[in-house]
Amino acid sequence: MRIDRQQAFSGTLAADIPFDALDTYLSTHIDGFAGPLHAERFKGGQSNPTYKLTTPQRSYVLRRKPFGKLLPSAHAIHREFQVTEALAGTGFPVAKPLHLCTDNSIIGADFYVMDFAEGRVFWEPHAPGLDGMERAALFSSLNTTIAQLHGFNPADLGLADFGRPQGYVARQIKRWSEQYRASETETIAEMDRLIEWLPGACPPDSTGAIVHGDFRLDNCIVHPVEPRIIAVLDWELSTIGDPLADFTYHLMQWFMPISETGAGVGSLLAHLNDPGVPAIADYVARYCQRTGRDGIAELDTYLAYNFFRLAAILQGILGRVRDGTAANAEAATMARQVRPLAETAWNFAQRAGA
């Protein structure tokens, strides 16, 4: 049965965190916080469970680490807080972080609290419901936003030690190969081939920049009535790295295999001719213009790497289903995309000469 992604991932569920302890804690750690507190868990999201906190005065958002067994280095709540805190004062669209808690006795896991950004989330990358002019403006806003992110000097924001730009893609290949093996549930030949081929096919290092790691429309809050990004969410995978790797990850939506159930990552494949959806060559050209580049060499290699990386990320979700720590009810269905993602990655690898 095919699900409606907008309906399946929008809205909230009952919260699974202790209200009373959290209410008391936040009253002493966030200026102006005053209960009584009501909490609901957002349906969307696969990594760090996310909650809407409501008080009589205002609303907040809480993100926590999942409960239970976790993969090494995953769910880095403190890094999300650090990068969003640095970006909040720059004018970049991000929800302002308010407090980080590393005392897991409060709710059972580390967490942080940020402002609630009132707006829309589009769970389909073609932004259904918008007309052609609005859709074109929204894609332009996405392009402008990721170009702006890649234009920051990390040292100027106090993030010089947030990551190592040298060898970023090579380290990512190693990391996600290891994470994939740690959560592997079946043999996928294309993943085995990619794990062997990718280390020797790494593009040369690009200029070091702040990279989001999972930049796409459904990780953004869109203004309630205007077609522009007002907050970029889900910074769990952010670091200092190759901006071209980050941008080409964003380009994957133009090639994403369509999920039979609709539960997987959204795809533009069936909407390339929709009014306002830019041709990928034009979208790449606008990013290059905004970032002062002549073009993107080794695009196929970057796409092979990114489809491999996403397959490994979704395999990690399937591993959490196996271990009983998945955050989303659709996680098992979503993880069925691992094999088609691996096949797509290998197709790009072959185009790159594998």
Copy the structure tokens of residue 13: 């569920």
Domain boundary among 64, 85, 115: 115
> What are the residues facing 211 on neighbouring strands?
239
Asked if residue 147 lies in contact with residue 62, where contact means CB atoms within 8 angstroms, the answer is no
Helices 132-151, 243-250: crossing angle, 10 deg rounding:
160
Question: Same domain, yes or no, for 79 and 143?
Answer: no
Residue 261 in any domain: the answer is yes
Which of residues 83, 115, 147 is at a domain's end?
A: 115
Domain span at residue 52? Answer: 5-115
- Residues whose CB is less than 8 angstroms from the CB of residue 95 and which lie 6 or more positions away in sequence, other chains included: 61, 84, 114, 115, 116, 117, 221, 231, 233
Point out the domain boundary residue: 115, 144, 169. Answer: 115
How do 59-64 and 50-54 pair as beta strands? antiparallel
Domain with residue 103: its CATH number is: 3.30.200.20
- Residue 317 sits in the same domain as residue 262: yes
Residue scoring higher pLDDT (184 or 273): 273
- Are residue 92 and residue 138 in the same domain, yes or no? no
Write down the pLDDT at residue 158: 96
pLDDT digits 0-9 by tens, 73-86: 555 789 999 999 99
Domain count, the chain: 2
**Same domain as 155, residue 14:** no
What's the pLDDT at 185?
83
Whether residue 94 sits in one domain with residue 144: no
| Residue whose entry in the numeric block shows the structure tokens 């953004």 | 220
CB of 16 within 8 A of CB of 41?
Answer: yes
What is the mean pLDDT of the segment spanning 339-345? Answer: 95
In one-letter notation, the amino acid at residue 54 is: T
**41 in a structural domain:** yes
351 CB-near residues (< 8 Å, 6+ apart): 300, 304
Considering the domain boundaries, does residue 289 fall inside one?
A: yes
Which pLDDT belongs to residue 186?
Answer: 86
To the nearest 10 degrees (0 to 180), the angle between helices 243-250 and 168-183 is: 50
Euclidean distance between CA atoms 323 and 71, whole angstroms = 11
Q: Are residues 62 and 194 in the same domain?
A: no
CB-based burial, 131-166: b 16+ in 10 Å, e otherwise: eeebbbbbbbbbbbbbbbbbebebeebebeebbebe
The two three-digit tokens of residue 53, written as one number:
């906190």
What's residue 344's pLDDT?
97
Asked whether residue 123 is domain-assigned, the answer is no
In this prediction, residue 76 carries a pLDDT of 77
**In-domain check, residue 125:** no
* One domain for residues 210 and 161: yes
The CATH number of the domain where 177 resides is what?
Answer: 3.90.1200.10
* Contact between 131 and 173 (Cβ < 8 Å): no
**Residue 222 scores a pLDDT above 50:** yes
CB 115 within 8 A of CB 96: yes
H-only helix segments in 184-298: 189-197, 243-250, 280-291
Same domain, 143 and 184: yes
Output DSSP code: residue 253. G
Residue written as token pair 């203004």: 223
Q: What is the pLDDT of residue 165?
A: 83
> What sign has the CA pseudo-torsion 94, 122, 214, 288?
negative
* DSSP three-state, residue 204: coil
Residue 72 has pLDDT above 60, yes or no: no
CA 254, chain centre distance (Å): 16
Same domain, 322 and 199: yes
Distance between CA atoms of residues 328 and 334, nearest Å? 10
Q: Evaluate whether 123 touches 5 at the Cβ level (below 8 Å).
A: yes
* Residue 124 placed within a domain: no
- The answer on 162 and 105 residing in a single domain is no
Shared domain for 99 and 149, answered yes or no, is no
In a domain, 140, yes or no: yes
Say if 85 falls within a structural domain. Answer: yes
Over residues 238-251, the pLDDT tens digits come to: 999 999 999 999 99
pTM: 0.89
How far apart are alpha carbons 135 and 126 in whole angstroms?
8
User: Does 139 lie in the same domain as 28?
Assistant: no
